[in-house]
Amino acid sequence: MSEIEPRGDKFEQGIFWELYKDLERQFEGFLEYVPYLEQNENTYSFKLLNLILSVGGHVDSAFKEMARYPFFSNNDDCRKILEKLRRSGENIEKGEHPIPVSVRLCLKAFEKPYKLSQKKVMFKRLPKWEKVQPFKPHDRKTNAPEWWGIYNGLKHDVSVNMRKANLQTTMNALASAFLMNVIHVPGYTWLYQHGIAKPSLRGAAIFTADVKNVKDKIEEFVREGKEYFWGFVETSLFIYPA
């Protein structure tokens, strides 16, 4: 891609949603053989390990894409993320090590506009549905959820952390990816446009069929710290809001 070619928002194009749905389908395929029951939560496997690594990578990429959204141009933490990405790209071009973007910085950047740590989704487990808080802080230093620490452990030492690549960790990781796709403004706008986000009567009254109007309205609500999610998004595994 040339530098002058318009990049385009990968959430607004539906790309991140399609990537997420592929990850969800992989998990569903595993659940056909090992259903998500309480007695199976600690079941681990190489397939789940690879899926957790993929979901972690998806979440990491999603944070970086979110930081590029022009609406957050005045967000100091988003600017720090973009600066690290710029310097990292320069390093790679020179054959040097890339500069990592910490999860602590990413979580801090989007806590105020999206309240990530507080959000819950419904997981359609058997025999009873369960509310899940995907970004509930676990690590006091980074405020990262428990599954993120496991993901990092798997990246750096599989032999020690293999048993943690289980159903529960995979579900929590996937719930985080689902949540990011449905609450980020361009992502929600795309879901609304394609009939995946189902508005309530109140939402339908506020959001017209004009997609640009939908995005403008949501940005206005986010800017003012108001709730904007009137309705729901549902997949085979999750529902938001819970």
- Given a contact cutoff of 8 angstroms between Cβ atoms, the answer to whether 119 and 83 are in contact is no
In a domain, 176, yes or no: yes
Question: Which pLDDT does position 209 carry in this prediction?
Answer: 58
Preceding omega of 241 cis (within 30 degrees of 0) = yes
In a domain, 122, yes or no: yes
What global pTM score does this model have? 0.93
Question: Which pLDDT does position 239 carry in this prediction?
Answer: 97
Question: Which pLDDT does position 3 carry in this prediction?
Answer: 42
In a domain, 5, yes or no: no
Question: Which pLDDT does position 208 carry in this prediction?
Answer: 66
Q: CA-to-CA distance for 41 and 189, rounded, in angstroms? A: 34
Question: Which pLDDT does position 212 carry in this prediction?
Answer: 67
| 220 φ/ψ sector (left φ>0, alpha ψ -120 to 50, else beta) | alpha
Question: Which pLDDT does position 14 carry in this prediction?
Answer: 96
In a domain, 1, yes or no: no
In a domain, 187, yes or no: yes
In a domain, 4, yes or no: no
Task: Report how many domains make up the chain.
Answer: 1
Q: CA-to-CA distance for 133 and 119, rounded, in angstroms? A: 6
**Structure letter (DSSP) for residue 40:** G
In a domain, 10, yes or no: no
Closest CA to 169 of 43, 38, 58: 43
Splitting the chain (242 residues) into consecutive groups of 10 residues, what average pLDDT does each group show?
58 96 98 95 96 98 97 96 94 91 97 95 93 96 96 89 95 98 94 90 70 82 86 96 91
Element (DSSP H or E) covering residue 131: strand 130-132
Closest CA to 148 of 112, 93, 106, 205: 106
In a domain, 7, yes or no: no
What is the separation of C-alpha 96 from the centre of its chain, rounded to a whole number of angstroms?
Answer: 29
Q: State which residues form the domain around 215.
A: 15-240
